[in-house]
Amino acid sequence: MKKNIFVFGSTGSIGIQTLEVLSRKNKHIVLGLSCNSNIDLLFEQVKSFNPRIVAINNINSSHELINYCKVKNIKLYHGNNAASQVPLDDVDIAVNAIVGTAGMQPTIRLVENGIDVALSNKESLVLGGHIIMPLAKKKNVNIFPVDSEHSAIYQCLNGENDTELKKIILTGSGGPFLKRDLSTFGTITPDEALNHPNWDMGRKISIDSATMMNKALELVEALWLFNIKLDQIEIVIHPQSIVHSMVEFIDGSYKAHLGVPDMRVPIQYALTYPLREKSVVKSLDFSTMNLQFSKPDFNKYPVLSLVEKLIQAGGNRVPIMSIANDYIVKKFLDDEITFNEMFPLLKKTINKFSNDHLPNFEDLITLDRNIKLYLNPK
């Protein structure tokens, strides 16, 4: 079945890989593309895929994309939150590959309009899972996880009885500093933190992998996606990134999802579900493989213990963690703070803004604005 697909965040890592998958398929229509500011790459994508709709937040008024869209009769939306202005009438499924807190609003809008979502944006559920998941159920919308771990869990649980699930084992590589001595963490540079051993990812998620914040966010996301309790999920270090996650059932049996560490696989699965289609990724050679598993070091990755405390405490604490992390990662990438200063600043921000109130959408927007001002007072 041919699908009309809108790719939000098309110039980021997941967006680029999504378009690579779609370019090989020639089955589906790229109905729309959106990005924040990478206009040159967006222009190349527009010329390649000829979408009907394009949205960009920051645009140079003299850029040739504007005239190109006029000539080709492509609807162009620009300005703040341009992606929120686009018509969704003919969209069958949307890929939300927007990075960070900005991705939540498009997810809510898509679900409100009854559109299935291939969700890469973790923050949508970390911030607004209590809003999005009940709405998705009401609107009969499918949320297809694009994260490799959640896609793995989704596939392991497909066709199973929810009541027979005992536990989810969420695997993580440990990032680039798994074997690095903790005493040297203060000298870690952004370039070192961006150098992930297994995955080709964007800048923000690469830093989240180095701190294992990505796994903290994924834990929260899994609670919403699979309707489980905190004591039903365990994080395990798996340096090879071959086992993308596992599930344990009440009878003592396990299901594991294995594959090469390539995001094109979960992207394609989300877009072609319930079918599987041929992929270009290489097969595994089990005869040469050595798979290792271990418990995470909470001294190296303190956010893993913090997130459990925040979940148990409730209120707005988990959203604060996610929102603050966006700005703290940027400060590290901009050399404003050191690697070791990130976690203390995160805790300080959570303590500053936390309360027991479960935030609605407007609360989250206000929280984002206030945290941004707090962390960037200039």
pLDDT (tens digit per residue) in 92-114: 999 999 988 889 999 999 999 99
Alpha carbon distances (Å) from 82 to 9, 39, 92, 331: 12, 13, 20, 25
The SS3 of residue 65 is helix
CA distance 205 to 339: 15
Number of domains in the chain: 2
Q: Are residues 162 and 292 in the same domain?
A: yes
| Span 33-43, average pLDDT | 95
CA distance 153 to 301: 23
Task: Identify the domain containing residue 13 by its residue range.
Answer: 4-145
Q: Are residues 139 and 154 in the same domain?
A: no
The SS3 of residue 184 is helix
- Provide the token pair at 371: 């945290």
List, edge to edge, every strand of the sheet that includes 254-258: 233-237, 165-172, 243-249, 254-258
Look at residues 115, 145, 175 and tell me which one is the last residue of a structural domain: 145
The answer on pLDDT for 116 being more than 90 is yes
Say what the pLDDT of residue 200 is.
66
Q: Are residues 156 and 235 in the same domain?
A: yes
Q: Are residues 124 and 79 in the same domain?
A: yes
Q: How confident is the model over 204-263, as pLDDT tens digits?
A: 889 999 999 999 999 999 999 999 999 999 999 999 999 999 999 999 999 999 999 999
pLDDT tier at 40, thresholds 50, 70, 90: very high
The answer on pLDDT for 62 being more than 90 is no
The SS3 of residue 80 is coil
Residues 6 or more apart whose CB falls under 8 angstroms from that of 65 comprise: 39, 42, 43, 46, 54, 56, 59, 76
Say what the pLDDT of residue 63 is.
87
Is 166 in contact with 248 (CB distance < 8 Å)? Answer: yes
- Average model confidence (pLDDT) for the chain? 95
Is 86 in contact with 93 (CB distance < 8 Å)? Answer: no
Residue with structure tokens 């996606």? 225
Q: Are residues 207 and 136 in the same domain?
A: no
Look at residues 100, 130, 145 and tell me which one is the last residue of a structural domain: 145
The answer on pLDDT for 201 being more than 80 is no
Q: Are residues 37 and 157 in the same domain?
A: no
Say what the pLDDT of residue 81 is.
86
